[in-house]
Structure 1
């Protein structure tokens, strides 16, 4: 059983503690990033007296200069090197009561919704402020003076066009940004449409955020995941225990949280997610009215997915069966690692194999077997390395 983290320590001290207990391997690259995070922690703690909690705080706050603002951190490197784990440690230790941790795309979906809401108020005559950015920036900063982003990547032109103005406003207010990414800042939105309009944002990052590389030679994520059982049957207490043990091993010390995966005008609820790892129940994915587009979004967002409690699929579960077929096809086509607990082996899940559905499920059963193979694992690694 992995020891509970002691968040009264610094990030580097917590890392040393986990290494000493045998929960983690000693990794100099991770330790270097941990010390960079400790620098941000230290500066955030020094900033705390300038608050309403102290009468003298107001005096010091008045004398505080722009140069005294806390410089954030941008951590980039390949997947599976421990960026998210370190971010989790930092976020738990951060002293600010106003802090927010989110996947970057979720944050930007929220920003666009706030901008749309402001424009509607303007249209209805409820405000005279034509520019939504200062209003949105003020609201965001009022909610979170520390922003922590996982998977900072810019692919959408709508995001690219507002990032510079939005973060000029946020940084100007004193917002601190800590982010993880697979690419260094200079390569954000590379080859994107009208990238010249995005470049001022890279200059902003250079001014307000320290950039550090996490180039550990070991992909801890895949090292842990490769050894896990991928298909557990039958459904009983032992299956639940095995899935929980496999999930905890795959987490590798990270904390998973519920997230919302943005879709056009709605979102997909993900019960547990961290980095590019997610966990659902069969009901989460197949009892709900999800379709190919939803499963595509899930397969593009995550590298590995756990699905609990796949039942026997009888005639009364025809819609769920169709969704399960589409889900497996989509994950297979995108080389996503799939971990399942199920009521029976793949060839016995469908209780009545009739007509087109029977033929389609034959393919599903075949793919479920293939997704357990060393060849599929190799394909998974090859595709992910190319991304």
Structure 2
């Protein structure tokens, strides 16, 4: 007969890293950058090659990631949510990466509704694909949208962002 021996500890190192990470950091201070840097490193296997300033071709447009490695990507908020971006960009990113870090998320309001709309679409697509999301932001989560036409939609986004920090969500498998 064959005896099966489990050689891993049964614990996904990424799940453990995510549960120990600060998934939403505010305000934007030196610690915000350090927090994301620490999270990024903790999500990678040892001896993993990190690509800096990685120019990704998504939907025939360039999106530059600060860093990418082993299914993890780190972007600037404006790179993802300012300028010509569509839902298809976020679908594509959600297929490629199981974990995304976004730094310098700005407080959004009626004057930044285009950015807010893209942010909502990004969170929706990442949520649907069980992408793990780590953010550094200007203000605390509840103050991320200061009002405007997208008030209702943004409430759902806030609710999703909270759920995306839960153990249940973090332990979900990525759906590329």
TM-score range, shorter chain: 0.7 to 0.9
In structure 1, C-alpha distance between the alignment counterparts of 2:27 and 2:131, rounded to whole Å: 23
Aligned length: 167
Quickly say closer, same or farther: Cα 1:251–1:318, change in 2 above 3 A. Answer: same
Quickly say closer, same or farther: Cα 1:373–1:315, change in 2 above 3 A. Answer: same
8 Å contact kept, 1:224–1:252 = no
In structure 2, C-alpha distance between the alignment counterparts of 1:216 and 1:303, rounded to whole Å: 24
1:277 to 59, 72, 80: 72
**What's the CA shift for 1:266?**
3.8
2:133 to 333, 338, 343: 338
Aligned to 1:348: 143
Task: Please give the secondary structure, in 1, of the residue aligned with 2:161.
Answer: helix
> Would you say 1:303 and 2:106 are equivalent positions?
no
In structure 2, C-alpha distance between the alignment counterparts of 1:282 and 1:222, rounded to whole Å: 24
Structure 2: stretches of 5+ with no match in the other structure: 1-5
In structure 2, C-alpha distance between the alignment counterparts of 1:263 and 1:315, rounded to whole Å: 28
Quickly say closer, same or farther: Cα 1:375–1:220, change in 2 above 3 A. Answer: closer
8 Å contact kept, 2:67–2:73 = yes
In structure 2, C-alpha distance between the alignment counterparts of 1:358 and 1:240, rounded to whole Å: 29
Greater Rg, structure 1 or structure 2?
A: 1
Structure 1: stretches of 5+ with no match in the other structure: 1-214
> Would you say 1:242 and 2:25 are equivalent positions?
no
4+ residue stretches of structure 1 with deviation over 4 A? Answer: none
Cα-to-partner distance string for 1:134-176 (whole Å, 9 max, x where unaligned): xxxxxxxxxxxxxxxxxxxxxxxxxxxxxxxxxxxxxxxxxxx
> Would you say 1:217 and 2:40 are equivalent positions?
no
Give the structure with the larger strand fraction.
2
In structure 1, C-alpha distance between the alignment counterparts of 2:77 and 2:83, rounded to whole Å: 10
Cα-to-partner distance string for 1:272-320 (whole Å, 9 max, x where unaligned): 1011000001011011311100000000000001000111112221211
In structure 2, C-alpha distance between the alignment counterparts of 1:283 and 1:323, rounded to whole Å: 10
8 Å contact kept, 1:268–1:294 = no
How does the TM-score come out when normalised to structure 1? Answer: 0.40
8 Å contact kept, 1:325–1:361 = yes
Aligned to 2:3: none
Aligned to 1:256: 50
Cα-to-partner distance string for 1:226-269 (whole Å, 9 max, x where unaligned): 32121111221222222222222223442321334334544433
In structure 2, C-alpha distance between the alignment counterparts of 1:264 and 1:310, rounded to whole Å: 23
In structure 2, C-alpha distance between the alignment counterparts of 1:248 and 1:360, rounded to whole Å: 33
Quickly say closer, same or farther: Cα 1:256–1:313, change in 2 above 3 A. Answer: same
8 Å contact kept, 1:280–1:307 = yes
Q: Which aligned pairs between 1:134-173 and structure 2 lie closer than 5 A? A: none
Higher RCO (C-alpha 8 Å, min separation 6): 2
In structure 2, C-alpha distance between the alignment counterparts of 1:264 and 1:286, rounded to whole Å: 15
Aligned to 1:210: none
Aligned to 1:66: none
